[in-house]
């Protein structure tokens, strides 16, 4: 069974506790349960993580690259949070790994402040999703299953 790795960046541990008008009222534990259900549907094992630290996310992307090389990775869903808009390190970590990586945002970043319109992740990602709320995570896992069939 291949693994779908879902990585969450800074402040996403606060999901459901603040800014419900932007991010909804579901917690990160609720999102994990959503992802678990989507993975069961598609026959993936779920590995779900969150970190507030850029270097930890880089290490996890390297780990994903090794898993991918071993043929054990279905793909990565990455919500890099604010690092999306700042991190060349995350861009470099993804680039050249061959990982099927979906960049995901809960909110429609393009309808928000101008500083959220640029992403360092997008040029290295296979696909980009924004604005579906937390349901986007389940849709992204279905997307990984779809990409695997291409
Ligand atoms: O829409 C998204 O998923 C974002 O990646 C979320 C990031 C933001 O910096 C990006 O521009 C768009 C912020 C994550 C912070 O999440 C919180 C959730 C609830 C309360 C406070 C922060």
Q: Are 79 and 104 in contact (CB under 8 A)?
A: yes
Q: Are 118 and 136 in contact (CB under 8 A)?
A: no
Mean pLDDT of each 10-residue bin along the chain, 150 residues long: 98 94 94 98 98 98 97 98 98 94 98 98 98 98 89
Among residues 23, 83, 120, 137, the one annotated as catalytic is 23
Residue 148 alpha carbon to ligand 1 centre in Å: 28
pLDDT (0 to 100) of residue 150: 59
pTM value surpassing 0.85 = yes
- C-alpha 54/C-alpha 148 separation (Å) is 28
pLDDT (0 to 100) of residue 96: 85
Residue of 107, 118, 128, 137 with the most ligand 1 atoms within 8 Å of its CB, for mutation: 107
pLDDT (0 to 100) of residue 125: 98
pLDDT (0 to 100) of residue 148: 85
Domains of the chain with bracketed CATH: 3-147 (3.40.50.9100)
For the question of residue 105 being annotated catalytic, the response is yes
């Amino acid at each position: 069974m291949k693994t779908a790795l879902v990585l969450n960046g800074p402040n996403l541990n606060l999901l459901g506790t603040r800014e419900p008008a932007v991010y909804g009222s579901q917690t990160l534990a609720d999102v994990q349960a959503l992802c678990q259900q989507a993975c069961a549907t598609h026959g993936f094992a779920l590995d779900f993580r969150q970190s507030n630290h850029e270097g930890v996310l880089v290490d996890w992307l390297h780990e994903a690259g090794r898993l991918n090389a071993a043929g054990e990775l279905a793909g990565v869903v990455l919500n890099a949070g604010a690092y999306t808009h700042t991190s060349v390190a995350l861009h470099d970590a993804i680039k050249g790994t061959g990982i099927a990586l979906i960049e995901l945002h809960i909110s429609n970043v393009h309808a928000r402040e101008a500083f959220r319109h640029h992403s360092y992740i997008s040029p290295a990602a296979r696909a980009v999703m924004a604005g579906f709320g937390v349901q986007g995570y389940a849709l992204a896992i279905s997307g990984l299953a779809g990409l695997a069939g291409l």
